[in-house]
Amino acid sequence: MLLIRRFEEKVNEKFLAGDIPGFVHLYIGEEATAVGVCSALTRADYITSTHRGHGHTIAKGADVKRCMAELYGRKTGYCKGKGGSMHIADFGVGMLGANGVVGGGINLAAGAALAVQLRKAKEVAVCFFGDGASNRGTFHEGLNMAAVWKLPVVFVCENNQWASTTPLHEATAVTDISQRATSYAIPGVMVDGNDVFAVYEAAQQAVERARQGEGPTLLECKTYRIKGHFVGDPEQYRTREEVMAQMEERDPIKKLLERILADELLTEEQLREIERKVEQDVAEAVRFAEESPFPDPEEAFEDLYVEGEADHA
């Protein structure tokens, strides 16, 4: 969680400094959801992500150096500089890609689960999406089909209260996305998405259910998007006070630290050691990205097709 937080704070800084091109959508404040869910998965399980995908990618075990290099548009990035922030992916750890289209990953996860079911294997696919995506047809079609076929998939709705700039209540007929599970006769579970332990426990149950062939679960993680929709968003749709209050009361990392110290899970010295390691990893990621070369312009013509190029120009 801390690695995601520090990674993103650095990304924010470097984007504003003009070192990172394109758009960046930050995950700050939602770390407990990605980490809680991915902790219930093995490396062989699949995830699909959203346009806010750095957290999921790191939580699934991707290397922060190659993540950072991708955001910088460098040759050493996971997508060789062709994807960037919105299309970060690491197929090596089963992270099948961030998606620039809201809801675009929902059925990809259902399909990965279908492939698992067809080969009678035990992997599970998890789909992360936001509350906004739950208003798209792809969500309703995907949940229905996965339910009918009992696919080993867990649909994880990160209800961060904002669909781009629109608050939940203005665009969504229900207050809890998990209610929608009723329409598809699957369990709808709601947890505090800022409590990593709660997320982990709920995710584990849903994953286990999927592995046993009992079908999908809709897991709603209630969280809050601390940053704007994208870096540079003037955020005229909400007050600074609202955001500060959420951060004060619900910051998932603060909550985790309180629990760790209260339950004596780690000592303060161990925590400081983790903090040092994280700072070091992020600094190294930035150095790696900045020292990596840009791709050769001719590489724009690679990776379109598996072999040969469809060039009739």
Binding site for other proteins (CB under 8 A): 46, 48, 77-83, 87, 89-92, 96-97, 99-101, 104, 106-119, 123, 125, 137-138, 141-142, 144-145, 148-149, 302-313
Give the nearest distance from C-beta 83 to other proteins in angstroms. 5
Give the nearest distance from C-beta 151 to other proteins in angstroms. 8
Under 8 Å CB-to-CB from 262, ≥6 apart: which residues?
A: none
- The Cα 193–Cα 29 span in angstroms is 10
Query: From the CB of residue 205, how many other CB atoms can be counted at a distance below 10 Å?
Result: 16
Amino acid in position 81 = G
Residue 69 or 190: which CB sits closer to other proteins? Answer: 69
Give the nearest distance from C-beta 93 to other proteins in angstroms. 11
Amino acid in position 225 = R
Give the nearest distance from C-beta 302 to other proteins in angstroms. 7
Tokens for 234?
Answer: 């003037």
- Cα torsion at 145, 117, 62, 273 (round to 10°)? 100
Residue 57 or 194: which CB sits closer to other proteins? Answer: 57
Residue 149 or 230: which CB sits closer to other proteins? Answer: 149
- The Cα 62–Cα 288 span in angstroms is 15
CB 127 within 8 Å of CB 155: yes
**Radius of gyration from C-alpha coordinates of the chain:** 19
Tokens for 248?
Answer: 């004060």
Phi, psi torsion values for 73, nearest 5 degrees? 75, 30
Give the nearest distance from C-beta 199 to other proteins in angstroms. 23
Residue 99 or 172: which CB sits closer to other proteins? Answer: 99
Residue 83 or 187: which CB sits closer to other proteins? Answer: 83
Residue 78 or 200: which CB sits closer to other proteins? Answer: 78
CA distances to 37, 99, 130, 204, 278 from 47, rounded to whole Å, are 10, 12, 14, 15, 24
Give the nearest distance from C-beta 154 to other proteins in angstroms. 14
